[in-house]
Structures are given as structure tokens and as C-alpha cells.
């Protein structure tokens, strides 16, 4: 194998595929990047047996071939090369030579034959969506994915469509994050549970600025492929049924509060400064003595805080204890100036929704006193 490429292009491709590589993998070859020069292009691949990422590299190929090279060593070497133009070649022993200016590295690689194959996804089932929309939906829900492997379906986000609206939902057992986007009347119906890691790494690759850049989603019964042209991300799907999340959203709240989002966020963040350790033992308390002022309170061994926030409440006055970090995560992922917060007593869930529309739902279970 032999090809020439630009250093900056190679650094970008390495950083992309490294997102799928686990450091110190139990399978040694998975610590490496698969580099293939064939069919007139160079392709880099990272794969951890659950998520695989392929990135095409602009290059000038003079000899086809393939090799697996340690990801960390290769990435560090390329970053330190002195010139923009790089020549990479391998020999029959899978030794790689990297040349740039007067620098010449020789490093040992491995045969590509032992590198596991990324599943091939048929392209019959195809969905096209804006990268910006999908990236935003992931970023606004991924924090609520469960870390508990005993509940596999909750370690991913549910991505579904009814044909006109796309919904992404994450639930960890204590909170829920939901985002909806209207995409038109001819969008295919779908329902997938996608692992949190695959979504998190995909969001780092998607373009969040340009409305015109799209991602094509191909699916099979067990895997999903995100294709943005020069980069392809393959992920296994989580099997089983997701939580029936609509059933846990209360329909007739006892209290409906309207509050300035930033004012409440700033107050809860100040309260969190003294909630240093056990968040379930030391909640942030939201209480009211009238329907225009809410008292935000934190009381720990470190100290205490009491702060008033202007609100408007319909129905019962609020008296509830919440995990401060969960409340901060929800409020930080909302752009609206004002939000509507629904309560169902001190033991029912706290639900944050838009004042108008249904673009998001954030649900937080209270801490029992």
C-alpha cells in the first residue's frame, strides 16, 4: 500500500474514527485503525464491535493495500509531522513507513485479515433528515440515557416517527428527556432504540450549522447506518421494547407554573454550589407561600441558600424536593425565555414543557422526604 495525503485531512479522519475505538480493548486489534487503499480511495475504520465508523480520506494512491495500525500511536505521530504533505506506505510484513519532510517513521502494524467486519446494511429502508435537526435532538436528550446495563432498553434513545413528527426520548428511571420535530407528512414511520454511545459520537460528527446538510439513515433488524457521504457510522440496535413514555406524562396537573427559564436556572445553579455530595439526600427544595413567588432552598453541611424567584402559578401552591443536577440539565437544554412547569403534588413528577407548542418534555421524579 502506498498513498499521499494532506496532514490536516488525515488528522480529521483519524479523529473521526477514533470515536469508535475503546482504549485498552480486550481484543488487541480493536485498538487499531484499519486503513484500506482500494477502488481509488483510502478509507479509515474504527470499530468496537458495537459502533463502527468509516471515514474517506482524500488521497493520491499509487499502490492498493490495507493494514491495521495502533490508533493512539498513529494519531500522535501524524499530529507531530513537520510538513503538510505525507506519504504512507506498507510492506509485506505490515510495517508502515510515514514520511513528511525530513521526518521518517517506521512502525509495526497488523494484518487487516484479522480485523472484524462491520455489518453491511442494505439500503432498501432509507430515511433522510437534516444533520442539524438530528444533532440537536441528540444533544437535548442524551444526558438522560441510563448507565444501568441491567435495563438495556434505557441505555439508548428511542427514535421514532409517526410519519410527520420525529421524536427522540431518553429515560434513566429518574427523569425523561423528549424532543419532537415536525418533518412533513411523507416521512417514513420508524421506531428504533439506538445505544447512547453511538448517538453521542454521531452528534460530534454531524454538522449543526448548515440546514442543508443531510444524513441518510439506513436500517436493518439489528443495525442502523448514518451516512453523511464521506463518513458512515454503523451501530447495533438495542432489541426489545422501550418504556411507554406517553403513559408517564401526567394529563391533569394540580399546579401549573410559568417562570423565566434563566432566572430559575441561575437560582438552582447557585443552590447546587453547596450540594457537594449525596444529591438524593440533599435536594433543592421548591416551595411557595403565595402564587407569585417561589423559594429555592438548599441546606447541607456546607451551608444553606434561600432565594426567591418570580413565578405565576395556577392551582395548588408548590412544595417539592428535586435533584438539582436533573433540573439544571433540563433547563440548560431549553432555549425558550419562559417555560411551563407542571406539578402533581410533592410526590408526583415535575414536568417542564413549552409555554406554547409541544417541542419538548422534560420529566423529573421528586425526591421523597
pLDDT score, position 100: 97
CATH of the domain spanning 126-245, picked from 2.60.40.10, 1.10.10.10, 3.10.150.10, 3.40.50.280: 3.10.150.10
DSSP tally for the chain: helices H, then strands E: 6, 25
Beta bridge partner(s), residue 85: 6
| 203 contacts: CB under 8 Å, gap ≥ 6 | 134, 135, 138, 139, 142
Report the alpha-carbon distance of residue 268 to residue 312 in Å, rounded.
18
Q: Where in the chain is the domain with CATH 3.10.150.10?
A: 2-114, 126-245, 249-364
Q: Which fold has domain 2-114?
A: DNA Polymerase III; Chain A, domain 2 (3.10.150)
Kindly report, residue by residue over 221-244, the tens digit of the pLDDT. 899 999 999 999 999 999 999 999
Q: How many CB atoms lie within 10 A of CB 8?
A: 11
CATH top-level class of 249-364: alpha beta
Buried b (16+ CB within 10 A) or exposed e, 184-213: eeebeebebbbbbbbbbbbbebbebeeeee
For 88-99, the DSSP string reads: EEE-TT-EEEEE
Report the alpha-carbon distance of residue 287 to residue 307 in Å, rounded.
11
Label residue 301 by pLDDT band (50, 70, 90).
Answer: confident
Q: What is the DSSP letter of 348?
A: S
Q: Are 343 and 257 in contact (CB under 8 A)?
A: yes
Least confident among 137-141, 188-192, 302-306: 188-192
Least confident among 186-190, 217-221, 314-318, 352-356: 186-190
Buried b (16+ CB within 10 A) or exposed e, 60-98: ebeeebbbbbbbeebbebbeebeeeebebbbeeebebeb
Q: What is the DSSP letter of 18?
A: G
Label residue 306 by pLDDT band (50, 70, 90).
Answer: very high
Minimal CA–CA distance to 345: which of 318, 313, 314, 323? 318
Q: What is the DSSP letter of 189?
A: P
Residue tagged 479523529 (cell numbers): 15
Q: How many CB atoms lie within 10 A of CB 265?
A: 18
pTM: 0.92
Q: What is the DSSP letter of 39?
A: T
CA dist list (Å): 264 to 26, 239, 267: 46, 38, 5
Label residue 279 by pLDDT band (50, 70, 90).
Answer: low
Label residue 278 by pLDDT band (50, 70, 90).
Answer: low
Q: What is the mean pLDDT of the chain?
A: 94
Amino acid at each position: 500500500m502506498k498513498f499521499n495525503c494532506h496532514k490536516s485531512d488525515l488528522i480529521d479522519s483519524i479523529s473521526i474514527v477514533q470515536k469508535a475505538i475503546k482504549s485498552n480493548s480486550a481484543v488487541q486489534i480493536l485498538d487499531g485503525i484499519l486503513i484500506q487503499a482500494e477502488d481509488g480511495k483510502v478509507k479509515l475504520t474504527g470499530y468496537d464491535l458495537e459502533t463502527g465508523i468509516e471515514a474517506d480520506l482524500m488521497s493520491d494512491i499509487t499502490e492498493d493495500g490495507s493494514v491495521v495500525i495502533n490508533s493512539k500511536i498513529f494519531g500522535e505521530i501524524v499530529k507531530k509531522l513537520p510538513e503538510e504533505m505525507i506519504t504512507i506506505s506498507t510492506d509485506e510484513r505490515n510495517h508502515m513507513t510515514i514520511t513528511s519532510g525530513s521526518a521518517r517513521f517506521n512502525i509495526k502494524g497488523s494484518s487487516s485479515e484479522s480485523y472484524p467486519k462491520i455489518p453491511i446494511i442494505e439500503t432498501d429502508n432509507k430515511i433522510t433528515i437534516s444533520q442539524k435537526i438530528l444533532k440537536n435532538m441528540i444533544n437535548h436528550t442524551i444526558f438522560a440515557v441510563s448507565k444501568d446495563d441491567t435495563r438495556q432498553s434505557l441505555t439508548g434513545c428511542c427514535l421514532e416517527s409517526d410519519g410527520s413528527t420525529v421524536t427522540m426520548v431518553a429515560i434513566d428511571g429518574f427523569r425523561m428527556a423528549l424532543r419532537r420535530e415536525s418533518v412533513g407528512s411523507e416521512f417514513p414511520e420508524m421506531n428504533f432504540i439506538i445505544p447512547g454511545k453511538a448517538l453521542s459520537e454521531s452528534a460530534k460528527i454531524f454538522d449543526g450549522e448548515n440546514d442543508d446538510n443531510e444524513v441518510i439513515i439506513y436500517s436493518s433488524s439489528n443495525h442502523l447506518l448514518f451516512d453523511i457521504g464521506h463518513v458512515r457510522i454503523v451501530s447495533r440496535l438495542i432489541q426489545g421494547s422501550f418504556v411507554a413514555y406517553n403513559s408517564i406524562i401526567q394529563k391533569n396537573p394540580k399546579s401549573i407554573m410559568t417562570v423565566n427559564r434563566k432566572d430559575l436556572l441561575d437560582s438552582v445553579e447557585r443552590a447546587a454550589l453547596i450540594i457537594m455530595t449525596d444529591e438524593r439526600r440533599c435536594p433543592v427544595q421548591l416551595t411557595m407561600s403565595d402564587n407569585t413567588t417561589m423559594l429555592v432552598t438548599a441546606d447541607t453541611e456546607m451551608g444553606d441558600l434561600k432565594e426567591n424567584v418570580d413565578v405565576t402559578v395556577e392551582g395548588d401552591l408548590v412544595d417539592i424536593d428535586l435533584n438539582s443536577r436533573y433540573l439544571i440539565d433540563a433547563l440548560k437544554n431549553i432555549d425558550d425565555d419562559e417555560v411551563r412547569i407542571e406539578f402533581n403534588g410533592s410526590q408526583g413528577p415535575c414536568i417542564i414543557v413549552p409555554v406554547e407548542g409541544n417541542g419538548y418534555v422534560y420529566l423529573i421524579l421528586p425526591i421523597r422526604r
